Amino acid sequence: MRTYVTGDIHGCFQEFVELLDLCSAHAAGKPARLITLGDYVDRGLDSFRVVRLIRHRLRSAYPGFTSIINLKGNHEVMMAQAALGGERSVKENWVSPDTGGDATVESYPNLELLRDDAAWLAELPTSYEDELRYYVHAGIRPGVRLKDQNDDDKLWIRRLFLNHKTPHEKYIVHGHTPVLNTDAQDNRINLDTAAVYGGRLTAAVFDCLQPKPIAILQVKATRTG
């Protein structure tokens, strides 16, 4: 069974739907797995519709994905902390232009729905693995066994992980750090291709024979946050 993995969405609803359609067409009617790497919200214009699709309609709209795994990103953590009783400084940081939570709030019809989705997002896992690969939002701490990785690193790590060139226990599939093109290394691949900044929304296609992707599917962003 092939596995389709999407990078950071950040409220880019139309691009996400187009990418899902591409993935579905590429699967050509064969059962497939879909993994989303987190950061569904913030900065883009349609966080509400992105979350509602993932939470309520993804399985019915794309029945070819017989397995769907939605991982949590650092922006889901910030949303949950701010929406579910965080201190004032936490709320202010989330809705700042740098973080982009203000766009998420504006996309929701009311705070009740926002809090309900935030509670659901907060319960999503931070990683998933199969026989060949380890899927995570930001990355892992080099030198630490996969089973011992902590959530802070899985959600936030950058330089230490990105600069590490030797093999990990498994091939790492991640997002979090925006790049213009997919950053494919011998030990990892970064799928955050900056859709919300006018880049592309990317999905990598994997099979059960090799760790690295067999195809890359992309949708050009039509608008930015």
CA dihedral 34, 147, 212, 186 (to 10 degrees): 150
User: Residue 55 and residue 31: Cα distance in Å, rounded?
Assistant: 20
Element (H, E) at 75: helix 74-83
pLDDT at 198 over 90: yes
Average pLDDT value over all residues in the chain: 96
What percentage of the chain reaches a pLDDT higher than 70? 99
Its pTM stands at: 0.97
pLDDT at 27 over 80: yes
